[in-house]
Amino acid sequence: MSELIIDKITTRDGSNVGAIVVADIDELLLLNTNKEINTTAIVKDSNRGGVFNYDGAQSGVNNGGTIFNGWVRQYDGAVNVKWFGAVGDWDDTLKVGTDNLTAFQNAVANQGIIYIPEGDYYISSTLYITLSNTKLLLAPNATIRTYLSADATIGFSGGDSQITNVGIEGGKIHSYSTSAIDGNAIGLSNVDNWFVDNVTILNARQKGITAQGTIAGLVTGTGRISNCVIEQAGEAGIAIEGVTSGTIFIDNCDIQNVIGASTGSSFDGDGIVLYNDNFATGNFDACQISNCKIGVTSGNGLQAYHVKDVQISNLISSNATGHGCSLRYCGKIDLSNFSVRRCGKYGFTINNIEDSCSAVNISTKEVGYGTTDVYSAIKLQQNGTVQILLANINVADASNLLYSIENDTTGHCKVANSFITEGSVGYFPIVDSLIVLDTPEVMSKRLGTSQTGVSGQTVIAFDTLSSDATSVPYGYLESTTDGITVKKAGVYNINALCYFANATVGEAADIEIRLNNGAISSVNTSATIPSNNRVYAQVSHSVYLEADTTIKVRVNVWSGTYDITSYPTRTLLNVSKV
């Protein structure tokens, strides 16, 4: 048996202290000496040992770790759970080991920094931290685990009042639960100035990390989650829920394998969730998410619902069964450097935004993956008159992409800088419905059969419209009075895309770029997409233009069975200065 070796004790004034030396705590409690003369004892036990001074005023106190019937442990810094009898001896193969719940409960009652040394510590139920100024510090190879039904493995909760300055750092939390609905790894409720740093979470039945504000006046305040790894969870990897006050930071976290829990929750299987269903009694304020990776989720990569003042940057979502990113009923959302790589539905869906929204340096690849349905890279829906800015959009998708940008809204959407589309041969995903690009060097307009546009938006109407089954071409659309006019002389890249709805196999179309009504370039295609019966055509041209040159478009249809006046026809004209 290892021993704690102490040669002598020296007080701060340099004098030596006489001390009684005992083997363990049991011997300490059996001491029968004149305690007024012999006030110091040394306990040699390597786990629970230390130096103790006797205090007669605390002779009736025994907290199992720092005070034993008047013997008061002398220490500076952290409280060690081993002082309270904790043993990290869990055998995960045999599923046997010491239950450390009582030892941990007694340790955290001391507040301050609670240190958990290397070892695998089993607790039979939730360890609740209900006092302010209490922080768990786990050694790198320390694990806290539970295997029984529990609300959470670690729970920080103020109950009916808010607690402050609490958190956990380091180690692993293994949170397997036998309950069908319970089993968060780390839960925080009604706390302020909190943190979860450098923690690895395994097998959370419900949520890996959740911070909640329950009712008005009792909220989750300023806090951070940083450098955490969540390797498996059910409902969500990280969930910030309810009423919040102050800014919550989520930084440099890696979330993988959020498999869903089928709990009937409003969200299930999402990587990161910002969610407020208590908006009648309070707001969800201010969250910043940066430098995170989300992979393999049965729901969405990221979901935000009824939250505001959210900034998301440098985030990668990959292999989501749902949307890469879903924003609903949010106020003031800013996305930047957000990449969605393979998702089962929309890359980004932005619905019912209540304040401004921007998305800059956004990329998608393989949206609608693994399904026969078609989805758009970015879908804007029911956003009212809210202005939405999309900038530097890069779309690289498989052939089942519906649109690069789909805008089903009356709001004003600005697209700054051209986006790139890459797909299978003959398929050109294009902007659909009222998308405007209006910057000095890059210009784009959408053309269509509609003669009217929404206030505040620029829509080119095809003012020449023809359908004649006896002539060749059999029908055409032409913008003879409207187009894009360049104000500076120089070399420009011109790109035009179009599609015709309700076409059948074999029907064909071509599109012409015209400068001041003179055609300079055209391309013909008979490609069709059988799943949605659309004919696509594209033409690109690079040319030197004088100042005040107007670029226009004409679309020809080469099939007598296709009535160009009866079916939707949409065209995008894009001009960028080289």
Residues 146-170: pLDDT tens digits?
876 556 789 998 877 889 999 999 9
Residue, of 356 and 177, whose pLDDT is higher:
356
Q: What is the distance between the alpha carbons of residues 371 and 134, in angstroms, rounded to a whole number?
A: 49
- 67 pLDDT band, cuts 50/70/90, is very high
Answer yes or no: are the C-beta atoms of 189 and 160 closer than 8 Å. no
Over 70: is that where the pLDDT of 46 sits? yes
* Residues sharing a CB contact under 8 Å with residue 14, sequence separation 6 or more, in sequence order: none
- 371 pLDDT band, cuts 50/70/90, is confident
State pLDDT tens for residues 69-89.
999 999 999 999 999 999 999
User: What's the sign of the alpha-carbon dihedral 411, 412, 414, 419?
Assistant: positive
Integer CA distances (angstroms), 486 to 444, 491, 492, 547, in order: 11, 11, 9, 6
Answer yes or no: are the C-beta atoms of 422 and 401 closer than 8 Å. no
State pLDDT tens for residues 445-476.
444 433 332 222 333 344 444 554 444 454 55
Tokens representing residue 477 in the block: 């659309």
Over residues 418-446, the mean pLDDT reads: 36
Q: What is the distance between the alpha carbons of residues 137 and 359, in angstroms, rounded to a whole number?
A: 38
State pLDDT tens for residues 512-557.
677 665 655 555 444 444 344 555 566 777 888 888 787 777 766 6
- Determine which helix (DSSP H) or strand (DSSP E) holds 108, and give its type and residue range: helix 101-108
Answer yes or no: are the C-beta atoms of 285 and 309 closer than 8 Å. yes
* pLDDT at residue number 430: 35
Over residues 289-311, the mean pLDDT reads: 93
Write the single-letter amino acid at 566: S
Answer yes or no: are the C-beta atoms of 295 and 270 closer than 8 Å. no
Residue 561: other Cβ atoms inside 10 A: 11
Structural Rg of the chain based on CA atoms: 33
Over 60: is that where the pLDDT of 59 sits? yes
Answer yes or no: are the C-beta atoms of 459 and 420 closer than 8 Å. no
| pTM, entire model | 0.75
**pLDDT above 70 coverage of the chain, percent:** 65
* pLDDT at residue number 1: 33
Answer yes or no: are the C-beta atoms of 528 and 491 closer than 8 Å. no
62-76, 319-333, 431-445, 489-503: which range is least confident on average? 431-445
Residue 376 backbone dihedrals phi, psi, to 5 degrees: -95, 155
* pLDDT at residue number 448: 45
User: What's the sign of the alpha-carbon dihedral 42, 48, 52, 54?
Assistant: negative
Sheet holding 20-22, edge to edge: 20-22, 40-43, 50-54, 71-73, 67-68
Q: What is the distance between the alpha carbons of residues 299 and 209, in angstroms, rounded to a whole number?
A: 17
* Residues sharing a CB contact under 8 Å with residue 285, sequence separation 6 or more, in sequence order: 244, 245, 246, 247, 308, 309
Q: Label residues 147-179 b or e (16+ Cβ within 10 Å = b).
A: beebbbbbbbbbeeebbeebbbbbbbbbbbbee
Q: What is the distance between the alpha carbons of residues 494 and 346, in angstroms, rounded to a whole number?
A: 28
User: Residue 443: beta bridge partners?
Assistant: 438, 575
Over 90: is that where the pLDDT of 103 sits? yes
Rounded to a whole number of angstroms, the distance between the first and last alpha carbons of the chain is 78
Over 90: is that where the pLDDT of 119 sits? yes
* pLDDT at residue number 437: 36
Answer yes or no: are the C-beta atoms of 146 and 115 closer than 8 Å. no
- 419 pLDDT band, cuts 50/70/90, is very low
Answer yes or no: are the C-beta atoms of 221 and 193 closer than 8 Å. yes
241-255, 321-335, 394-408, 426-440: which range is least confident on average? 426-440
Q: Which of 105-114, 149-158, 330-339 has the highest mean pLDDT?
A: 105-114
